[in-house]
Chains A and B, each alone.
Chain A
Amino acid sequence: MGNGTIQEITHCFLFLPESSAIRAALLIQRWYRQYVARLEMRRRCTWNIFQSIEYAGEQDQIKLYNFFGFLMDHFTPASSERNLISHIFRENEICRDTEWERYFCYKDIEVPDSYTGPHLTFPMTFCGVSKLVEAFKHKQQLHARYVLQLLGETWRLLRILPNINQVSACHTKEITICGDLHGHLEDLLLIFYKNGLPSSEKPYVFNGDFVDRGKNSLEILLILFGFLLVYPNDVHLNRGNHEDHIVNLRYGFTKEVLGKYRMHGKKILKLLQKIFSWLPLATVIDHKVLIVHGGISDTTDLNTIARVDRHKVREPTHHAVNGSKTQMMNNRNREAGGLVEGRRRVCSLTYHSSAPAYKHNLPRRSLHNQPTSSQLNWSVEEELKRRRRQAGFDQSYGELTKSDSDSDPESGETTETDEHEWKQIVDMLWSDPMPQNGCSPNEVRGGGCYWGPDVSEEVLGKHNLQLLIRSHECKQEGYEFCHNRRVLTIFSASNYYEVGSNRGAYIRMGPDLVPHFIQYQASRTSREFTLRQSIGWTERSALRALKEQLFVHKSDLISAFHEFDPNNTGLISLSHWASVTEKVLNLGLPWRVLRPQLVSSTRYGMVDYHQWIRELSITEPKLEISDNSILETMYKNHSNLETIFRIIDTDHSGLISFEEFRQTWKLLSSHLKTEISDKAIADLAQSIDFNKDGSIDINEFMEAFRLVDLSAHS
């Protein structure tokens, strides 16, 4: 059976009509299958793009905190950055809960008569929560008084819950398990519509990442906490890596809260910080099914997890920083070998001690200076002195790895246990499964590890478990098995990357502990997209995001291209184009496949890279900046800059002073190891016209530099 020729088909048509229909059918089937396969490849590429950019952002975040950690350990009293850092990291841990309760008290907050939103009464009832759900469905906002009251009750309840929720599936009820929601209220409402509201007859487990990215993170939290209060034995919440106030600074939750609650937002955020630290870490069903947000590592031990003081363990982000710090050091000096290399390298996260530096009472969490007496103020200076003594003076960044082995004898059992404990937690919240055996640091995320099928077998076997359910990774169909069906990923935010990018799903599980899946896709339009249409839409969005990344790396790309164009012809071969772009962006994408959509024309297999870069220029900033290098730094470090700004803005007013602004830039330039002159910063500040009141509005500033896509083909 070969390819038909025109003559063959017409010949057959004339003499054997039935067989010509068969031939025609064969041709059409072959054609169509090829078409579908091409779509599938495009979909995978698009997925890769979104995922790579997302994880690169998370890695960026961790690097930033790694940098802060470094500064905390290494600046001398004379350093000008000292005040800023201590300003950022001071915390009054000594405050007792009663003091906090007073601070969070809602009683003085009046609800005006003009308020049209829902009124809550406590203790919470099923009617109360349903009313809340209805109100949010109709886009109403809950008054700050009720928010604080609800959160306060939640905090009180969470404190008496264990680290690991133990649940039993019995014959009268099935358990529903949901994955990441990420502020997608429409998905939660869809789940409730299809599956019913939580109740004693309808137990639910929510597996973390309730917040960030979507715009209704707070509403989701309030609904989940409401149901938790009404049915504490039937609603179970696991902490996710986004239930972390440092991550929230970058990924939108902080901004959402401050935007919705201008007066009380700061208090709400502070209370949420406490609540997040008190969220349970895992849920186990019938001693057989383990549910955690991220996953496991080769050192995962549920008995350890059950014992830790989960709220006292430092910020998981902080831990991710410390845990992989040794690895990070090594990474900095290595070539950008691409993500494939990273995953293959199997090395342990075991920590050879910069341990002394990270003792128990490290004041690193805070974004607030609480006006309390000096007795309660932890002295950052004293802490730093002590740690510098332990770690040794005058260590350069690169030398830290060498001195690791000369760890201070003072770092005894306690510290090692602490390290072990927080590593367990970080692994639980940040890890991802991989196809090959072994366990290696998760360098894509910057925290947790990659674990293989052998680790799944070992850990599940050790604890006599049969299934691990986790979330943390977006999946096209909303769920996916791996590791011989021992590990199941469940993801409940549909259209996560873009409209049409993926379905969401949830699990129903009865006493037989066999998972059943229900998929859905929230959509604003009633029309169903064809395969072709939805891929096109998502693809366009992914390519836009990718072009943005290329644009912000303009200078690096051009200088790298020059290296392969010694005669300055302005042309570069396709394969060089692909390898250079990968080296600069480090996203692990199949550039040659993407090339037709990124580069409009080639000449005899060569790319005119100057023209290409010009075509990528997709925006004009709204401000006049003479210094081009600052502009590029701005675009490239958009998220980092915003994160730093928000940290500095400790009273969450949305405004920072010129001095703080200047210090931010100094900090950023240290982190990036580039030079940004005082004059350039002054010019920048001037052009923002902050002189009116001596302060800069963060939102306005970031808005001015947001990339706007003016390209014709969008």
Chain B
Amino acid sequence: MAGRRVALKAVDWVAFAERVPPNQRGMFNALKTRSDAIAAKLNSLPETPAAIDWSYYRSAVAKAGMVDEFEKKFKALQIPEPVDTQTSAITAQEAEANKSASAYIEGSKARITQYEKELDKFKNMIPFDQMTIEDLNDTFPETKLDKVKHPYWPHKPIADL
């Protein structure tokens, strides 16, 4: 009966913990405790069971052939390995996550370019004490007074002063 040594990929929990955003920390902790419990259970079981002392039983059991029969059947026995149903689901989840992650990164990059554009506008602005009202209206369009809608001074509703 061959023992099975499965290749477990080492998960660096410390690095993983760093990358978890604060709002998902609870889920991460739950995952970690679950994983640790499973690992502990695995380590508590020895890899191969204790060997059966056939010679002792052969001498002790009076019934002829019983021990031999047991031994033969025992050695011939193949224990089926449990079927893996979840890995494909996990791989599908991973593909899904990759897709949404790349979409998120795209959006994030777009946001970064927008922020950088605004930052450049602020950096390349002329100092305030050298601006005229025209320059101010060019740089900050929201300060432009609408002289068509409010033709008389102060060109904005009194409540906005």
Same complex for A and B? Answer no
Interface residues of B (CB under 8 A from A): none
